[in-house]
Structure 1
Amino acid sequence: MQQEQADGREIVIAGAGLAGLAVALGLHRKGLRSVVLESSPTLRTSGLAFITWTNAFRALDALGVGDKMRSQHQQIQRLNVMSSATGEIVQEIDLRAQGKRGTHEARCVSRTALLLALEEELPRGTIRYSSKIVSIEEDGNAKILHLSDGSTLRAKVLIGCDGINSVVARWLGLAKPSDSGRTATRGRAKYPDGHGFEPRFLQLVGQGFRAGMVPCNDTDVYWFFTWSPSPDDKDVDKSSAAMKQFVLTKLRSTNVPPQVLEAVERSEMNDVLAAPLRFRSPLSLPFASISKGNVCVAGDALHPTTPDLAQGACTALEDAVVLARCLGEALLLRTGDCAAEESHRVVEAALRRYADARRWRSAQLTGASYAVGFVQQSDHPAVGFLRDKLLSGVLAKTLLMMPDYDCGTLSSSGAC
């Protein structure tokens, strides 16, 4: 069986999603080479778009691609939370407000555009496609990665950014993601002549679903819809037409503005028509093995979460900056010509600092997202009353609390 060094590189990253490419770029900015293993034959550009908050732009600025994203996506100025039962606006939030760490910023960013921006900044050949890890074994301090094509790869550092079904997270012994009992679909509506919408994020809550619509730029509008499926919903994802009709039927039974219905009607659907919303229990994270020796995880491999605070991708970008800073400083400043055993201890200590820095942040993210989604989507009369009359301010503060965070820069001035 053929065994390779990682093309002369010691750092192997599993997964070429947002987290994986961001970690690779952070390490590249620190002067370290890595190889990114991607199971797909090409860059995975499904996913449409996601809300990119203040914390994510701080991370993107640290990686050197923040302004490129700003130039392609308009800033969202306000969030209006509407009760789908009454059609009333129950909360309005200024998304440019001043937080504890500076002015807030939010934009709906194309996932494809961000992936391409990260890829363009990496050295040619960084990503190795059609390379899926199927198992991991130890050989001293190195890890032997067995790939689906029968080849093996020897790595001195392994970083799992391989998503919610992460092979690396499973090797570390992290708890399996739990099913939230909810499902999501997403779409993008195109308006070639311009949509004319205000730069506003409209969110609909209650009646057993949660939905939202937000412009990305002058011509594209992104929307999402989450619900708790019943046995009667089993065929809704058979085609994009069936999924659209399902969403439209649900929305038409409530007090939803007509522009939301129009956006769904004229939309392109995500490649995955419907996906169950899963999350890693926040109770498992405080004592979880986020790192072990020279192995760690980041992004969805670490903190898969429901999308109710729109923070999954944002927090993955935070992970990337913190991890690149911790590992980069350790490898560049401390190892030099030290022995292999000492080098391993340096890496292990760096990954442990990263894990300690991200542990509580990850638990906070998954716990708060699940709680907010439960309250916002619930159709229980008592929960609905409390949500619309008493809790809307609390939910709004929670929504802005998570982005009010600074992961620091790639320099050693940022604490790991």
Structure 2
Amino acid sequence: MELVENVVIVGAGIAGLTTSLGLHRLGIKSLVLESADCLRITGFALLIWTNAWKALDAIGVGDSLRQQHDTLLGNVTSSTESGLQTAEMSFKAKGKVGKHEVRCVKRKLLLEALSNELPSGTIRFSSKLVAIEESGFFKLLHLADGTVIRTKVLIGTDGVNSVVAKWLGFNKATHTGRCGIRGCATFDNNHGFEPLFNQFFGDGVRFGTIPCDPRFVYWFFTFAPSPDQEKELEENPTKAREFVLSKLGVIPDQIRGVFESTELEAFKLISPLRCRKPWELLWKSISKGNVCVAGDAIHPMTPDLGQGGCSALEDGVVLARCLGEVLLRNSSKKSENLEEEYKNIEMGLKKYASERQWRSFDLVATAYAVGYIQQSDGRVLSFLRDKFLAPFLTSLVLNKADFDCGKLTHNS
């Protein structure tokens, strides 16, 4: 069976749904292919920084998410070895793009907010892309179920193991030697936490707790295991839980209680932290002809800036704007010249690529550097981090969020 579509987006994650919704707001239909049989909501929650709220407002879903999540007032960083606070930062300050805004958002609610605004039938679940074939000015997409889709535009938002990124010539993302575990604690009544991002370092680990709403607290824990240890912890969540609790160090009982009250199932979700080698983003193009990539397909990064999902939202808005301009122009001309139409699409995707190249490089490189310093267990670097670098690293995180990807159209 062969289907024909103008725009196909591979992957119904944050970048894919944002791009599709942005195009929909501009009156452009797209088809989103998702290999899973439902929306992928693993990860529990994510920090949504100022730059991401700008993107969410651009596609019209910011206000609905604000109503469901508490505003965070600031960040407090402490040492697990001394128990002392090493840095504090307020989120109330004004940046270059306006007042800072930070909330911890449940991933499920974010994906539902994006998908619920799309027309019925936009997302095609259980649709795994296995091969891409050239066909003149089109791409033929071969799916695992035997379906073939002919499309004028192919957008890969299919994550860290992207088929589309591989087709564009990108290498596999590099394992950083670190792993992450994410979880949450849900309380029967108000959890009593202040609206703060509490972050801790020491003994080669980094972790933190962040309240999302009055009953839900999200946590993350990153560490650098030995090869044998990584496999052992993946296979035995009880040992993973014991390992995490043993590494918490000197922290308040309220913080420790979040980890202790988390269901054992969360400790199964150990994931290697991968990132794109930053220089690859400089000498390889994220677009080629009528094909491009966005989100983790282009810039998988370590979570140390909290910008993975946020930059995916930026990608979606910029891509919808750049592609939408040329597709609407093609539509108004009603040209039957496929070559001219193809060249216009190519120009639109190149414009998107040029806007996102340096931003992606900056975030990937900075996240890796920040993570390396924050999670170091070396005596000298740990001393410098706790005594001198902690305030700088904390302000750097806020600085990278001080960014506006713009509206869906240049006139809006």
Deviation string, structure 1 residues 26-63 (Cα, Å, up to 9, x no partner): 00001000000000111112220000000000000001
Partner of 2:241: 244
Deviation string, structure 1 residues 296-348 (Cα, Å, up to 9, x no partner): 00000010000000000000000000000000011113452121111100000
Deviates more, 1:379-388 or 1:229-238: 229-238
Partner of 1:290: 286
Please identify runs of 4+ aligned residues in structure 1 that moved more than 6 A: none
Distance 1:215 1:319 in 2: 27
Partner of 1:408: 406
Deviation at 1:392, TM superposition (A): 1.6
Q: Which runs of structure 2 are paired with 1:1-400 in the superposition (5 Å)?
A: 2-6=1-5, 10-230=6-226, 231-251=228-248, 254-268=249-263, 269-270=265-266, 273-335=269-331, 336-338=333-335, 339-400=337-398
Deviates more, 1:206-215 or 1:335-344: 335-344
Distance 2:63 2:322 in 1: 24
Deviation at 1:394, TM superposition (A): 1.7
Distance 1:395 1:298 in 2: 27
Specify the SS of the correspondent of 1:198.
coil
Deviation at 1:271, TM superposition (A): 8.3
Q: Is the 8 A contact 2:321 2:408 kept in 1?
A: yes
Deviates more, 1:177-186 or 1:254-263: 254-263
Q: Is the 8 A contact 2:183 2:218 kept in 1?
A: yes
Specify the SS of the correspondent of 1:149.
coil
Aligned residues: 408
Query: Aligned in 2, Cα 1:192/1:239: closer, same or farther, shift over 3 Å?
Result: farther
Query: Aligned in 2, Cα 1:271/1:343: closer, same or farther, shift over 3 Å?
Result: farther
Taking structure 2 as the reference length, the TM-score comes to: 0.97
Distance 2:36 2:148 in 1: 17
Specify the SS of the correspondent of 1:282.
coil
Distance 1:99 1:388 in 2: 26
Letter in 2 for 1:359: Q
Q: CA RMSD in A?
A: 1.3
Q: Is the 8 A contact 2:240 2:267 kept in 1?
A: no
Letter in 1 for 2:252: P
Query: Aligned in 2, Cα 1:232/1:128: closer, same or farther, shift over 3 Å?
Result: closer
How many percent of aligned residue pairs carry the same amino acid? Answer: 50
Specify the SS of the correspondent of 1:12.
strand
Distance 1:298 1:366 in 2: 14
Deviation at 1:376, TM superposition (A): 0.5
Specify the SS of the correspondent of 1:72.
coil
Q: Structure 1 unaligned runs (5+)? A: none
Deviation at 1:244, TM superposition (A): 1.8
Letter in 1 for 2:117: E
Distance 2:201 2:185 in 1: 21
Specify the SS of the correspondent of 2:201.
strand
Distance 1:292 1:387 in 2: 42
Taking structure 1 as the reference length, the TM-score comes to: 0.96
Deviates more, 1:225-234 or 1:309-318: 225-234
Specify the SS of the correspondent of 1:125.
coil
Letter in 2 for 1:356: S
Deviation string, structure 1 residues 252-276 (Cα, Å, up to 9, x no partner): xx21221222101111444851000
Deviation at 1:239, TM superposition (A): 4.4
Deviation at 1:288, TM superposition (A): 1.3
Deviation at 1:242, TM superposition (A): 3.0
Deviation string, structure 1 residues 48-103 (Cα, Å, up to 9, x no partner): 00000000000000010001110000011010010111111110000121111111
Query: Aligned in 2, Cα 1:209/1:271: closer, same or farther, shift over 3 Å?
Result: closer
Letter in 1 for 2:261: R
Letter in 1 for 2:288: K
Distance 2:184 2:207 in 1: 13
Q: Is the 8 A contact 2:209 2:255 kept in 1?
A: yes
Query: Aligned in 2, Cα 1:277/1:410: closer, same or farther, shift over 3 Å?
Result: same
Letter in 2 for 1:395: L
Distance 2:71 2:28 in 1: 33
Specify the SS of the correspondent of 2:296.
helix
Q: Is the 8 A contact 1:47 1:271 kept in 2?
A: no
Distance 1:107 1:155 in 2: 38
Q: Structure 2 unaligned runs (5+)? A: none
